[in-house]
Amino acid sequence: MRDAVDAAEKIRTWEDHMWDKKTLGEKLDVDLEKGHTDDFARKRLNDEGKNALTEKGKTPKWVLFLKEQTGMFSLLLWVAGILCFFAYII
């Protein structure tokens, strides 16, 4: 819990959005007119890979259905329905 608080406090102290263009270029080590060099871009591509989202695994429909039917309120409704059925028979 303390790590989350420390991380949030660190974010609160960020001032990157208030830097002027000159300071921003110096801090990020980039020429704001030309951008990064091809060598730098190639190195980042090799180190970090493509800037693309990964495909999320799809959950089968029947698993989603079972999850919906086994929630706390759903189970309560199932039990109430079964009790009503037995009460009607008696």
pLDDT at position 14 over 80:
yes
CA terminus-to-terminus distance, the chain: 54
Q: What's the whole-number average pLDDT of the chain?
A: 88
**Per-residue confidence (pLDDT) for residue 82, from 0 to 100:** 95
Helix axes 72-89, 61-69, angle to 10 degrees: 70
Residue 49 has pLDDT above 80, yes or no: yes
71, two tokens: 């929630």
- The pTM for the full model equals 0.39
Residues 23-45 have a mean pLDDT of: 88
Count of Cβ atoms closer than 10 Å to residue 54 Cβ: 6
pLDDT at residue 83, rounded to an integer: 96
Average pLDDT over residues 18-39: 88
Least confident of 16-20, 38-42, 83-87: 16-20
Q: Would you say the C-alpha torsion 57, 60, 66, 71 has a positive or negative sign?
A: positive
Specify the pLDDT at position 76. 93
Give the Cα separation of 12 and 44 in Å (integer). Answer: 28
CA-to-CA distance for 35 and 22, rounded, in angstroms?
13
Q: Taking 80 as the threshold, does the pLDDT of residue 58 lie above it? A: yes
Whats the size of the chain, residue-wise? 90
